[in-house]
Amino acid sequence: MAVIENSKLTVVGAGAVGSSTAYAALIRGSARHVVLYDIATEKAEAEVLDLAHGTPFTGSSDISGGSDISAVEGSHVVVITAGAKQNPGQTRIELAGVNARILKSMLPKLLEVAPNAVYVIVTNPCDVLTVLAQEDTGLPPERLFASGTLLDTSRLRWKLAERAGVSSSSVHAYIVGEHGDTEFPLWSAATIGTVPILDWETPGHPRMTQQELDQIAIDVRDAAYKVIQGKGATNYAIGLSGARIVEALLRAENAVLPVSTVLDGQYGISGVALSLPSIVGNGGVRTVLDTPMDDGELASLHHSAETLRQSLATLGI
Ligand SMILES: NC(=O)c1ccc[n+]([C@@H]2O[C@H](COP(=O)([O-])OP(=O)(O)OC[C@H]3O[C@@H](n4cnc5c(N)ncnc54)[C@H](O)[C@@H]3O)[C@@H](O)[C@H]2O)c1
């Protein structure tokens, strides 16, 4: 796909997630200019150099950056990955206090140089931080949202594709709610091709049962803990997820992606950010879709919202 001329992406945070996001964006040609910004000068400059050395093998995208905030100037999209990450066994919510402080100090400086950008929050707990950032900046919810359960949805589609023996692009299933322990799949609307998930027949295998699907949902929910236990961070799949959101924005795709926006009455929920299938295109989240849910799914959505509301309350928001 052609790189949009003059499009500019800034990735804030040159750690495992930020540098992987920049790498994915360069390889996929998500934006013409990619900037990697971090307060840690040496680290940021080293990552930029290493990425730049590979650009003769990528398309026409270029990379620059460092610790000078002026590099961010004029960005169309800013993806925020800066902040503390989970230690093995730690939940995302436990990062809230420290990352809220980092975000609060960073946002005014970013907005000064990139006042018209769309802001995508990846730093965890991304749903909680989105509410905080939205209140702090006053940006409309469509222009400031979190990557939310796009990564979890990708994990789910990969697992179902493996089980069903089909391409993951033929698996139509979503994880919604909190990007965290209360997230859940919308099984009632899940299909492979056009076949409802429980009716799918894989040659040589029994049909999937609800019990098997429940276990898949648990594995997806706990996937990050397993990866962090083994290698200290999750970075490649979130890097690709971030690049995918950037493409939907800069190419005005109107793609349906599960991202997290501050809700305003959808399903009776307000003032909390959580993920629902949404149309992402020019300028941000254009519509949060009114996706049909069964009673169990609605109850899970409200449970997720309540959990997030409690986390916000402990932060005094
Ligand atoms: N939403 C998701 O799906 C998802 C997935 C994976 C990781 N994450 C989150 O992404 C975040 C980053 O993870 P990581 O593994 O890259 O961590 P990391 O420790 O490798 O990198 C974090 C970087 O942020 C930088 N930083 C800190 N304060 C800054 C500031 N004020 N301005 C600019 N940069 C600053 C640090 O210098 C560091 O380089 C974590 O909060 C992690 O939980 C989110």
pLDDT computed for residue 91 by the predictor:
85
At residue 289, the 3 state secondary structure works out as coil
> Quick one: tokens of 289?
């879709």
Per-residue pLDDT tens over the stretch 110-133? 999 999 999 999 999 999 999 999
Q: CA-based angle 219:224:230, to the nearest 5?
A: 105
What distance in angstroms lies between residue 81's CA and the mean position of ligand 1's atoms?
Answer: 4
For ligand 1, atom 40: residue with the closest CA: 85
User: DSSP letters of 163-223?
Assistant: HHTS-GGGEE--EEB-SSTT-EE-GGG-EETTEEGGG---TTSPPP-HHHHHHHHHHHHTH
Confidence band (pLDDT; 50, 70, 90) for 1? Answer: low
Residue 184 phi/psi, 5-degree rounding, is -155, 155
User: From the alpha carbon of 95, which atom of ligand 1 is closest?
Assistant: 41
Percent of the chain at pLDDT > 70 equals 99
pTM of the full predicted structure?
0.97
How many CA within 13 A on the CB side of residue 118?
28
Run of H or E including 78: strand 77-80
* Cβ atoms of 90 and 49 closer than 8 Å: no
36 pocket-lining for ligand 1 (C-beta < 6 Å): no
Per-residue pLDDT tens over the stretch 151-182? 999 999 999 999 999 999 999 999 999 999 99
pLDDT computed for residue 88 by the predictor:
87
Q: What whole-number distance in Å separates Cα of residue 290 and Cα of residue 288?
A: 7
* Cβ atoms of 8 and 2 closer than 8 Å: no
- Top mutation candidate among 36, 38, 68, 103 for ligand 1, by most atoms within 8 Å of CB: 38
What distance in angstroms lies between residue 18's CA and the mean position of ligand 1's atoms?
Answer: 7
Residue 245 has pLDDT above 90, yes or no: yes
pLDDT computed for residue 233 by the predictor:
93
What is the arithmetic mean of pLDDT over 199-215?
Answer: 95
Of 33, 53, 172, 179, which residue is the catalytic one? Answer: 179
Confidence band (pLDDT; 50, 70, 90) for 2? Answer: low
What are the DSSP E strand ranges found in 248-293? 255-264, 270-281, 284-288
Residues in the chain: 317
Distance in Å from the first CA to the final CA of the chain: 42
130 pocket-lining for ligand 1 (C-beta < 6 Å): no
Nearest to 311 by CA among 86, 135, 87, 93: 93
pLDDT computed for residue 317 by the predictor:
76
Nearest to 247 by CA among 158, 175, 150: 150
195 pocket-lining for ligand 1 (C-beta < 6 Å): no
**Residue 70: exposure state from Cβ atoms within 10 A (0-12, 13-18, ≥19):** exposed
- Asked if 53 is an active-site residue, the reply is no
- The conformation of residue 207, written as its DSSP 8-state character, comes to P
- The conformation of residue 71, written as its DSSP 8-state character, comes to G
85 pocket-lining for ligand 1 (C-beta < 6 Å): yes
79 pocket-lining for ligand 1 (C-beta < 6 Å): no
Q: What whole-number distance in Å separates Cα of residue 11 and Cα of residue 122?
A: 10
